[in-house]
């Protein structure tokens, strides 16, 4: 059975669909909060959350006392590097899915303790997954979560969006530090991503932090470059 989307996500998908269809054009003002509330039958709080996230994603711009406008979109769009694969896939009209390879409690070694700002030997969750969009393997992930902060994880949670689960608990990232590099597929990543050994992959290390700067998630992801790339459009 298809999982119901949160109401704010329904609003975001509606706005993104209007942009994709050309109903909303670059620099055009969109409907007011009241009009969106009536059209989509949701609360003002829901509308505001959806708009705030789209403003954060640089899709929209709010002008105080005037309204909300559509930003010029990049001519090229690939998956954004980093966090919330599930949300990114949904925003692009794709169906996300996950194959969970491993969920294990481990204990921080020197490097993990440094990255997570915990003591050596503190408990961490290790989550190993393959992430799919429309049944195509896009990324292979190894992630560590601070057990003291996130509490218990289950296989069912890890087969979906861990970030959405944590958000419901009030645990959200304020910023993410990233290291992006290029690597070649070895036998393991070749098998997981369905690409030949030696294929170019994008390697991303993420450290997701709370408002106080404390990391709660350190992740390592390999993206196959048939479906993932980095492209920026620069406007004057």
pLDDT confidence bin for 1, thresholds 50/70/90: very low
What domains does the chain contain, in order, with CATH numbers? 7-70 (1.10.10.10), 85-224 (3.40.1410.10)
Helical H segments across the chain, by residue range:
7-21, 33-40, 44-56, 85-91, 110-116, 147-150, 155-158, 162-168, 187-193
Least confident range of 3-7, 12-16, 198-202: 3-7
pLDDT for 107 equals 97
Per-residue pLDDT tens digits for 110-154: 999 999 999 999 999 999 999 998 899 999 999 999 999 999 999
3-class DSSP state of 170: coil
**Residue whose token pair is 């997570």:** 116
Whole-angstrom CA distances from 141 to 146, 164, 212 are: 16, 17, 26
Cβ(195)–Cβ(185) below 8 Å: yes
Nearest to 18 by CA among 1, 42, 35: 35
The token duo for 99 is 């194959």
pLDDT for 168 equals 87
Mean pLDDT value across the chain: 88
Claim: this prediction has a pTM higher than 0.75? no
Kindly give, in sequence order, each residue whose CB lies less than 8 Å from that of residue 45, ignoring residues fewer than 6 positions away: none
Per-residue pLDDT tens digits for 104-113: 999 999 999 9
pLDDT of 91 above 90: no
3-class DSSP state of 223: strand
200: number of CA atoms within 13 Å, CB side?
8
The token duo for 162 is 């861990």
């Amino acid at each position: 059975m298809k999982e119901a989307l949160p109401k704010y996500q329904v609003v975001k998908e509606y706005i993104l669909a209007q942009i994709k269809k050309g109903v909303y054009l670059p620099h055009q003002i969109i409907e007011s909060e009241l009009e969106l509330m009536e059209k989509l039958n949701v609360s003002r709080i829901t509308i505001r959350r959806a708009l705030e996230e789209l403003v954060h994603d640089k899709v929209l711009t709010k002008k105080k006392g005037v309204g909300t406008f559509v930003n010029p979109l990049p001519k090229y769009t690939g998956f954004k590097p980093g966090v919330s694969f599930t949300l990114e896939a949904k925003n692009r009209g794709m169906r996300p899915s996950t194959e969970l390879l491993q969920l294990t409690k481990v204990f921080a070694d020197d490097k993990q303790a440094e990255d997570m700002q915990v003591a050596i030997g503190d408990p961490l969750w290790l989550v190993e997954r393959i992430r799919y969009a429309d049944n195509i393997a896009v990324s292979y992930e190894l992630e560590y979560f601070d057990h003291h902060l996130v509490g218990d994880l289950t296989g069912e949670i890890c087969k979906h969006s861990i970030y959405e689960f944590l958000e419901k608990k009030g645990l959200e990232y304020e910023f993410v530090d990233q290291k992006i590099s290029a690597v070649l597929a070895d036998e393991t990543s070749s098998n997981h991503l369905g690409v030949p050994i030696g294929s170019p992959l994008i390697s991303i290390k993420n450290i997701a932090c709370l408002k106080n700067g404390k990391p709660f998630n350190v992740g390592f992801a390999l993206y196959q470059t048939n479906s993932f790339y980095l492209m920026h459009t620069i406007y004057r």
